[in-house]
Structure 1
């Protein structure tokens, strides 16, 4: 085990030195989103002051928190060079399972535990399909998503399911002036950040994402970490689904429709690359807040759904451009 622990830092240093000339300073990797968020709030206060009132912000934050939880799970998968397209189905299924079992068992604690277990099983299926059977993540998770949506339709009969009152109370609660959903999101993000950045497990997790073959040669159990990323992702989706259902007051097959592309957009805007390894769940969470406020701003300006999608696309393009702009400038200077 000691050899394994010693080999991982060597692997990371080797990967870092190999790409040293192409690396971008840390500030441009994950910190630009903070500047973007400040600028967005500044623009919002000028062009749509109504979106910056206390009531508007408190109305936006619960959904931003839910999106941040989904983005956290998506970030972990993308760090393993994967992609989890089953977010829609998992968010919807989690809300339905929690609602049905919570009312049937008359215990929200058992309902939450059962829902998390269902999510973990879905994550294992996704991870196994991708890692063991070498199915492309996009194809594997889309197939699982279709199965999940079908399961939700069978459970609900296409009719929304009422959520236990206690879950609605939890989702609508406020502590220290912040919605409970934001505090739950904070807990998920900090936990994921601590594990990936401050523990030996996290260092090995990053090493697997950087170079799976080299990590395996160093004695790291690559399969466990790759499947574990999908399990963590599905658990995040499950938590988001339960909180969303509690906040809305019902669960249905369409509950998760708005939490796939915006979550992936948050990961991209936050600066996590699809090449694996490096990533920041904190930056993804901040980007989730950015995306939520951006959507609220666009709605306040009277734009329709098509314009909202266009604005999201422009935000992703701008974030990607800004992220690689410093490296492009350095390369241009060297060549000239």
Structure 2
């Protein structure tokens, strides 16, 4: 049994029946059936993508420093950029798992809005800090559960199921608020968003974002759950034959996405001190775009948390630079669109046959 394994590692022929490994993915997080001969180039491509994103981020910092040196490089502005990136960043971590599995979630922005609204009703605020945090997370998990059941067991197309959730969650959020802003009166929540709560100059929201990022990276790259996620995205049928319960895995992934939306909703409540039915507007597009430019394959089978986080930072920095230079929002959207198209074209050029 050991000799055929060594031949596969050296790039030699191997029986087709042994193509899908038991774990459903190789050590590099690639789709099932990849030998060691494909692992090193994949790893090099991941590093190249991350380095290129770091280069883009450095160039943006240079542009901001040149155009608005006093404002952009101020510590308060850098803290603001990281804080704003924290909310959409947490959503993007969950979206990265879903996209890696070959799915899509168009409802993340609406779920954030619904969770933030439900968590800031007068009834919820009467339970204090824990009541608001608990409600936001539970609402996110509930929406994720509905998405997961419809997709995994109802056999609905993810695009349709999450589009229905988008419309329903937005409508329910509007109904709960009657179009009004719900102001938070819980002092402990408001205090968490003030500068007095910064730890060594780092906002608490950024620390939460960092914790979610580290946890997401560990789960995707160092656990069986992560390997199964990659396997399902790479080849669902091969994953099923390898013993993976594909439907249950997809249910868990949409639950994870809902959990991240609930956490993001709470962070948004802390940041804005209110709940609105317009919260999370276009988060679905921003999270998908950040994951794509970070190197996550839209068709599934490959995902990177580090790349997704760098993508979030790139978009947030662009928004900040445009705001400081009083440039129009439409120009900002055009710039984002160009970056997304460029990133997808780079993916197509660097992908192996059949990946894109």
Which moves more between the two structures, 169-178 or 68-77?
169-178
Q: Which runs of 4+ in 1 moved over 6 A?
A: none
Corresponding residue number in structure 2 for 1:238: 262
Count residues in correspondence: 325
Equivalent residue number for residue 263 of structure 1: 287
Distance 1:9 1:312 in 2: 35
Contact 1:80–1:276 at 8 Å: present in 2 too?
Answer: yes
Query: Does the alignment pair 1:136 with 2:147?
Result: no
1:74 corresponds to 2:92: no
User: Hey, what does 2:104 align to over in structure 1?
Assistant: 83
Matches within 5 A, 1:46-195: 46-49=66-69, 50-100=71-121, 103-163=124-184, 164-172=186-194, 173-195=197-219
Cα separation, 2, equivalents of 1:14 and 1:206: 8
State whether structure 2 residue 23 is matched by structure 1 residue 8: yes
Contact 1:29 1:323 in 2 (8 A): no
Does the 8 Å contact 1:102/1:108 carry over to 2? no
> Which of 228-237 and 27-36 deviates more?
27-36
Instruction: Give the C-alpha shift of residue 39 in structure 1.
Output: 1.9
Unmatched 5+ stretches in structure 2: 1-19
State the shift of 1:205 in Å. Answer: 2.1
Larger RCO of the pair (alpha carbons < 8 Å, separation 6+): 1
Cα distance, 1:101–1:195 mapped onto 2, change above 3 Å: farther
- In 2, are the aligned partners of 1:101 and 1:111 still within 8 Å (CA)? no
Q: Deviations over 1:156-209 (max 9, x none)?
A: 111111122222222333112111111110011111111111112222222122
Q: CA deviation at 1:324?
A: 4.4
> Which consecutive unaligned segments of at least 5 residues does structure 1 have?
329-336
**For the residues of structure 1 that align with 2:322 and 2:31, how far apart are their CA atoms?**
44
**Does the aligned pair in 2 maintain the 1:94–1:239 contact within 8 Å?**
no
Quick one: distance in 1 between partners of 2:83 and 2:310?
Answer: 14
Q: Which residue of 2 aligns with 1:312?
A: 336
User: Would the alpha carbon gap of residues 187 and 286 (structure 1) be closer, same or farther in structure 2, given more than 3 Å must change?
Assistant: same
Distance 1:101 1:185, change over 3 A: farther
Moved more, 295-304 or 17-26: 17-26
TM-score by structure 1 length? 0.88
| CA displacement at 1:110 relative to structure 2 | 3.2
Q: 1:198 aligns with which of 188, 205, 222?
A: 222
Over aligned residue pairs, what C-alpha RMSD do you find?
Answer: 2.6
Q: Distance in 2 between matches of 1:230 and 1:174?
A: 32
Q: Deviations over 1:188-239 (max 9, x none)?
A: 1111111111112222222122111111111111111111111111111111
The CA distance in 2 between the partners of 1:104 and 1:40, in whole Å, is 40
1:35 aligns with 2:55: yes
* Contact residue 28 and residue 326 of structure 1 kept, 8 A: no
C-alpha distance in structure 2 between counterparts of 1:294 and 1:104, whole Å: 35
Give the 3-state SS of the residue equivalent to 1:99 in structure 2.
coil
Q: What does residue 17 of structure 2 align with?
A: none
| C-alpha distance 63-288 of structure 1, shift in aligned 2 (>3 A) | same
Give the TM-score of the pair, scaled to structure 2. 0.84
TM-superposed deviation, 1:86: 0.8
* Cross-structure match for 1:331: none
| Aligned equivalents of 1:252, 1:145: Cα separation in 2 | 15
